[in-house]
Amino acid sequence: MRKRKLGRTSGHRRALLRSLVTSLVLAGRIETTEAKAKTIKPLADKMVTLGKRGDLHARRQAAAFLLQPDAVKRLFDELAPKYGARNGGYTRVVKAGPRRGDAAPMAIIEWV
């Protein structure tokens, strides 16, 4: 699979993706560019999988990736139980049309 670089260095890209996934966990849905939304989809799904595992090691792995303790708490207490019977596909990406300033294709990523 080809990795999207998003025009950033590896450290900057990692920080951006961690921030976006944290925002998605806390807010429930975020609007961003299509490329970023498609890039964070597997990362967000992986966080829910960690939440469903529910052990201490999974919680520490999630805490190492997510930027806020509130996000880890919400992931394990609210999101993971909600998707207990579902095997993958926890997020959806909906195209939202071009951005006004630079006509970049926008998308909304949200929990299913």
When pLDDT is cut at 50, 70 and 90, the band that residue 3 belongs to is: confident
Q: What is the pLDDT of residue 39?
A: 96
Q: Between helices 10-27 and 34-53, what is the axis angle to 10°?
A: 70
SS3 call for 98 = strand
50-107 pLDDT tens trace: 999 999 999 999 999 999 999 999 999 999 999 999 999 999 999 999 999 999 999 9
What is the residue extent of each domain of the chain?
10-111
The CA distance from 8 to 110, in Å, is 24
3.90.1150.10, 3.30.360.10, 3.90.1030.10, 2.60.40.10: which CATH number matches 10-111?
3.90.1030.10
